[in-house]
Amino acid sequence: MKLKSELSKTQTELAVKGLQGIAHPIRFMIMFALSKEEMSVGDLVDLLGTSQSAASQHLSKMKNNGILESRKKSNQVFYSLKDPKYKELISILVRLYKK
């Protein structure tokens, strides 16, 4: 029996890239925080209790994986989720594991 995926090869690759992009506790928490509101790097560092260097590495990976987008305002960088599907994904994961 041959298994037929409901997703195209490109869609499957995007899904895997998205999951890899959040497969770390800090990245998961970043995604959770950004599902609520746009935040600056400094705000995320304070929230996560991590170094700016570590937060920046995770933010960069998430941006490269197509999860986040950023904008600059003077000397600050603000991050937000690139696509509403990531807000839905984090909501589903929280609901599943909160039980």
CATH number at residue 51: 1.10.10.10
Q: Give the E-state strand segments of the chain in sequence order.
A: 39-40, 68-73, 76-81
**Residues 35-53, mean pLDDT to the nearest whole number:** 95
Q: Answer whether residue 93 is part of any domain.
A: yes
Q: Answer whether residue 84 is part of any domain.
A: yes
Q: What is the pLDDT of residues 19-32, one digit of tens each?
A: 888 889 999 999 99
Q: Answer whether residue 4 is part of any domain.
A: no
Q: Answer whether residue 1 is part of any domain.
A: no
Q: How many domains does the chain have?
A: 1
Q: Answer whether residue 3 is part of any domain.
A: no
Smallest Cα–Cα separation from 30: which of 17, 20, 45?
45
Sheet containing strand 39-40, edge to edge, reads: 39-40, 76-81, 68-73
Q: Answer whether residue 2 is part of any domain.
A: no
Euclidean distance between CA atoms 34 and 1, whole angstroms: 42
- Whether the per-residue pLDDT at 1 is higher than 70: the answer is no
Looking at residue 74, what DSSP letter applies? Answer: T
Q: Answer whether residue 35 is part of any domain.
A: yes
